[in-house]
Homo-oligomer: A and B are copies of this chain.
Amino acid sequence: MDNKYAVILGNLGNTCDRFLSSGYKEQLDKATMLKQASSINRVTGIELVGTWDIDESNVGEMKALLQDNNLQCASIIPDQFSQKRWGKGTFAAPDKAVRDAAVAEIKKSIDIAVEMECDMLNLWPGQDGFDYPLCANYIEEREWFVEGVRECAEYALKKNVKLALEYKIKEPRTHSYLARVSDTIFVVNQVGLDNVGVCIDTGHAFMAYENVGESIALLKMAGDKLFHMHFNDNYNAWDDDMIVGSIRLVEYFEILYWLRKTGYNRWYSMDQYPYREDGYGAIRSSVLYLQKMEAILNSVGMERVAELVARRDPIATSDFIRENLIK
């Protein structure tokens, strides 16, 4: 019944921005980062990024490292963003050779997932979109996109692997094809396979002005399509990838309520960019924050929150916040 916590491995290392491609910190080796992850209270899962963390050459080594640290592979995130060839898209790239290469990359990642005893790929096709008006044939590119996802999904289905599509309204392109939750449901329905669902990154949703509780509810209504969760915080205007709870409060509590209410029992995974902060400390803080929210939810009880929500009264909700969330 307890929530399961995970971490994207690279969050613990160095992260760069467009002005300082070396990043602001020193890079740690993977063994150290895995040890750090496993030392955080109740963290039992790790997400691995293709190219950066894992490829065919180090699967065995990585599997051993995870076992040594009592960690499961929560997901593989195939590399669809960190190679020059993906610069104009992966599934929706104008060049057919690139589209084929993208599908091949995903299939390879599916095989790796199977070796890692992991049943989930988290796809973030952030390069699929466009930057300028009058520079894309939206219908053609979206058709390519759906074809690519479908081919991967059919392959994954045979291997008992699920695909979670992670949406984000923009960056690195000014407009992404998987922009918001409903855009992603639309694509999931176009693909039409059971093993294709959605990953909500809370920060991506916040920057698109979504109420994440509602997004979770929408995915429930779309046929239990929430497959994965990434957590971080921001100021609503950009994917700042900050520590959970550094800005907002009530929305996180609401998210935990809706996750439980809709029967979500998969990973609560941390996805941040601690550019200048200690990665381990930043990730640990996020996990502990969510565990505080989880404890409050346990203590208050689901039924009492359901009754509150049913009152639809901001004043009752404010009373609840002061009495149950704030010290």
Which of B15, B133, B220, B320 meets A247, CB within 8 Å?
Answer: B133
Chain B CB within 8 A of A298 CB = no
In the complex, which residue of chain B has the Cβ closest to the Cβ of A208? B209
Which of B185, B313, B325 meets A182, CB within 8 Å?
Answer: B185
Q: Which residues of B contact A277 (CB under 8 A)?
A: 313-315
Residues facing B in A4-56 (CB within 8 A) are 15-25
Q: Mark A175-214, 1 if CB is under 8 A from B, else 0.
A: 1000110110110011000000000000000001101011
Q: Which residues of B contact A289 (CB under 8 A)?
A: 318, 321-322, 326
- The docked-state distance in angstroms from the alpha carbon of A240 to that of B22 is 21
Q: Which residues of B contact A182 (CB under 8 A)?
A: 179-180, 182-183, 185-186
Residues facing B in A216-273 (CB within 8 A) are 217-218, 220-222, 235-238, 240, 242-243, 245-251, 253-254, 257-258, 273
Q: How far is the CB of A4 from chain B (nearest CB, A)?
A: 20
In the complex, which residue of chain B has the Cβ closest to the Cβ of A187? B182
Chain B CB within 8 A of A64 CB = no
In the complex, which residue of chain B has the Cβ closest to the Cβ of A249? B249
Chain B CB within 8 A of A296 CB = yes
Known interface pairs A20-B82, A20-B83. Does A245 touch B318 (Cβ–Cβ under 8 Å)? yes
Known interface pairs A182-B186, A209-B208. Does A315 touch B251 (Cβ–Cβ under 8 Å)? no
